[in-house]
Amino acid sequence: MKVVIAAAGTGGHINPGIAIANKIKKENKNAKIIFIGTLKGLENDLVPRAGYELERIEAYGINRKISIQNIKNLFRMIKCYKKTERLIKKINPDIVIGTGGYICGPVVLAANKYKIPCVLHESNAYPGVTVKLLSGKVNKILVGFEDAKKRLPKAKEIIVTGTPTKIKKQELSQEEREKIKEKLLIKNNLPIILIYGGSQGAKSINDAVLGIIKEKLNTNYNIIWSVGQKQYDNIKQQLKDANLNIKNIKNASIVPYIYNMQEVMNLSNLIVARSGAMTITEVSLLAKPSIFIPYPYATENHQEYNAKVLSNVGAAKIILDKDLNTQILNNTIQDIIVNKELQQKMSKNAEKIAIKDVEDKIYNEIKLLLN
């Protein structure tokens, strides 16, 4: 089996592609898998690190507004398509799988020319522009959420498979819990609130949490706060200016990045985060109560649609970024952690949304297309 996977830009596009590649390799050790990405995206780090070959093309997105830059990008995309067409002809794959980013456009169109079967995977509840445009040109679209189906009317076939993720539900023993807490310098049994805004952090979330720390509002809960690599030094200085040592704050563990995210997510009682498709998937799999603060500048406002997947079934609360401040965040956290019955209800509702055996479902759909 020879497979091309088109994935570019962010981890939300690339990591599902790598997970699919890993599953194909697990089931078919002789499979040859080649990724096609761009010159600048995160795929240039993640794909080789995962052990896969990466072909790169100079692809550009096209905005809806008319501009000189947009016209330039249009001509670049025509040139990109011609190169992609030659690349697809040379590789001659049995199937093309797209997991996100505008790279999927030229790759799928080139595969169409040579009548190569194509599958797209869409993680978000509100499909991106590229997926919408290509929906009638691929054999199947695999989606992460049921809500996405109604937004792809031109698709030939849509299957809800869920989105593959490395995070798994883990039943921690008391000893394991204590070891994780010890590493995080948590010395009590108060509820644990995990707060993060992605690898780079989220300034609006950080500002709100900084207020909680400065005003010492978290007397009845612990905070594990991943502030982002680029924002850590600034947060450290702001705390220092308030006569607080970032390494020694009561009921708070503040770090640039969390490397053992599976352990920490399983340990936590409540998760506060942006609402990318991967986060929604992980929170539902772990059956955790959550507070989502959708990134307001996400394309098509898709993060808010993602958050509503869980909020609509009573599994999450949503705070819009424009409404976010210290008081509102603390009050929302307090409303959940003081109510055990609400926590249990939110947890059960989150679990109802969870889709299990995702990689198996996706692999089965690929096999059906090739048979």
The answer, yes or no, to whether residue 331 has pLDDT greater than 70, is yes
Residue showing tokens 């996400």: 298
Q: For the packed helices 11-27 and 277-286, what is the interaxial angle rounded to 10 degrees?
A: 60
Domain spanning 174-353, CATH architecture? 3-Layer(aba) Sandwich (3.40)
The answer, yes or no, to whether residue 311 has pLDDT greater than 80, is yes
Angstrom CA distances, 40 to 35, 77, 227, stand at 14, 15, 25
Q: What is the mean pLDDT of residues 157-174?
A: 93
Would you state the torsion angle of the CA atoms of residues 120, 121, 125, 130, taken in this order, to the nearest 10 degrees?
-40
Q: Exposed, middle or buried, 271 (CB in 10 Å: 0-12/13-18/19+)?
A: buried
Inter-residue contact 229 to 258 (CB < 8 Å):
no
pLDDT value, residue 60: 58
pLDDT value, residue 76: 65
Q: Exposed, middle or buried, 345 (CB in 10 Å: 0-12/13-18/19+)?
A: middle
The answer, yes or no, to whether residue 369 has pLDDT greater than 60, is yes
pLDDT value, residue 77: 67
Residue ranges, CATH 3.40.50.2000, the chain: 2-162+357-370, 174-353
Topology of the domain comprising 2-162+357-370: Rossmann fold (3.40.50)
- Give every CB contact of residue 354 below 8 A, 6+ residues apart in sequence: 162, 284, 285, 287
Residue showing tokens 């790279």: 103
The answer, yes or no, to whether residue 75 has pLDDT greater than 70, is no
The answer, yes or no, to whether residue 270 has pLDDT greater than 70, is yes
Tokens of 285: 């799999």
Q: Which of 67-81, 95-109, 120-134, 254-268 has the lowest mean pLDDT?
A: 67-81
- Give every CB contact of residue 248 below 8 A, 6+ residues apart in sequence: none
The answer, yes or no, to whether residue 66 has pLDDT greater than 60, is no
Q: What is the mean pLDDT of residues 31-41?
A: 94
Average model confidence (pLDDT) across the chain:
93
